[in-house]
Amino acid sequence: MDWCRYRFRSVWCLDAPPAAVYAVLERAEEYPRWWPQVREVVSRDERTGTARFRSLLPYDLVVTAEARRQDPAAGVLEVAMRGDLDGWARWTLTTLPGGATRALYEQEVEVRRPLMRALAVPARPLFRANHALMMRGGRRGLAAHLRASPPPV
């Protein structure tokens, strides 16, 4: 097992139609408005940006993300990442009964930050818990954002 590699999977059920959720998720530069652990996103061009994350543990992660796939019809957004984390992340949105959204988040990354690599074995449970807290904050933030900005009818 490579202790510096991680696979994450989160499922968020959101009370909004997939098109509305997609419209928010495709605007990564606005994530800091609703996702507390996403501290900063700076667009470099229309396909690339730099993001800075921080959850409970006292360190920031910085990645450059490049859009790989943006498919509103399929409900898929995917980016390649490099920096403190190298790998990819993907959102896949599907419709639930009643028109709500199931948002599946998948991520496969390798940690590149030297301190995290050095602590890969003893701190792995903490790193995973830190990620889970970040995802919980994102789900809550997105749900509140969608309630505050309902899609036009």
Q: Give the DSSP letter string of 39-66.
A: EEEEESSSSEEEEEE--SSS--EEEEEE
148: left (phi over 0), alpha (psi -120 to 50) or beta: alpha
pTM for the whole thing? 0.94
Q: Output the pLDDT for position 1.
A: 76
What is d(CA 15, CA 102) in angstroms, rounded to the nearest whole number?
9
Q: Output the pLDDT for position 152.
A: 58
- Alpha-carbon Rg for the chain in angstroms: 15
Average pLDDT per consecutive 10 residues, the chain (153 residues; last block may be shorter): 94 97 97 98 96 95 98 98 98 96 98 94 96 98 92 56
What are the structure tokens assigned to 132, written together? 């889970």
DSSP 84: S
What is d(CA 61, CA 116) in angstroms, rounded to the nearest whole number?
10
Domain boundaries, the chain: 5-148
| Strand spans (E) along the chain | 5-14, 38-43, 48-53, 61-71, 76-83, 85-95, 101-111
Q: Identify the CATH assignment for 5-148 out of 3.30.2290.10, 3.50.50.60, 3.30.390.50, 3.30.530.20.
A: 3.30.530.20
Backbone angles phi, psi at 27, to 5 degrees: -100, 70
What is d(CA 104, CA 147) in angstroms, rounded to the nearest whole number?
19
What is d(CA 138, CA 105) in angstroms, rounded to the nearest whole number?
11
